[in-house]
């Protein structure tokens, strides 16, 4: 049996004042930005940047965003977000996330995002774009024809 390929990236960051609420804990809306930063880091590492998708004639908007809060992050904490690609045969991109407090190594947040593909006329693509199939092959991911 072939070993499962896991594509993941990490990004470290400091919690800034603008990202916390009046209790000095990370405001829930900031997590969407941390996930976005992780997707950009993943894209740089694995050649799946948003502009590259656009050059192939596709957009990839978020259609689902989920957070599970475990422990708070506070102003001036140092954290790390880990992003993992969840391989699927569906015409979508799914990423799983974990955010850790670097001082304590505690898991603070988990979550996932789902993106679909649109052409540049904003039509939903029901089949996986050919460039994504090629990208998966390039990274030794199972691809269903």
Contact (Cβ atoms closer than 8 angstroms) between residue 99 and residue 32: no
**What pLDDT is stored for residue 68 in this prediction?**
97
**What pLDDT is stored for residue 2 in this prediction?**
53
**What pLDDT is stored for residue 145 in this prediction?**
56
**What pLDDT is stored for residue 1 in this prediction?**
47
CATH number of 9-129: 3.10.129.10
Q: For residue 15, with 0-12 CB atoms within 10 Å meaning exposed, 13-18 middle and 19 or more buried, which class applies?
A: buried
Contact (Cβ atoms closer than 8 angstroms) between residue 35 and residue 28: no
Contact (Cβ atoms closer than 8 angstroms) between residue 100 and residue 108: yes
**What pLDDT is stored for residue 13 in this prediction?**
97
**What pLDDT is stored for residue 72 in this prediction?**
97
- Per-residue pLDDT 10s for the chain (145 aa) are 456 889 999 999 999 999 999 999 999 999 999 999 999 999 999 999 999 999 999 999 999 999 999 999 999 999 999 999 999 999 999 999 999 999 999 999 999 999 999 999 999 999 999 999 999 999 999 766 5
């Amino acid at each position: 049996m072939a070993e499962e390929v896991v594509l993941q990236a990490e990004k470290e960051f400091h919690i800034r004042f603008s990202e916390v609420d009046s209790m000095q804990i990370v405001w829930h809306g900031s997590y969407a930005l941390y996930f976005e930063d992780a997707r950009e880091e993943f894209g740089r590492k694995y050649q799946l940047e948003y502009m590259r998708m656009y050059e192939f004639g596709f957009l990839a908007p978020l259609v689902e965003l989920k957070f599970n809060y475990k422990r708070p992050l506070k102003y001036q904490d140092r954290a790390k977000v880990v992003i993992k690609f969840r391989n699927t045969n569906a015409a979508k991109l799914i990423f799983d996330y974990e955010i850790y407090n670097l001082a304590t190594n505690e898991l603070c947040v988990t979550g996932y995002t789902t993106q679909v593909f649109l052409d540049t006329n904003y039509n939903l693509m029901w089949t996986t774009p050919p460039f994504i199939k090629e990208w998966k092959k390039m990274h030794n991911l199972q691809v269903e024809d």
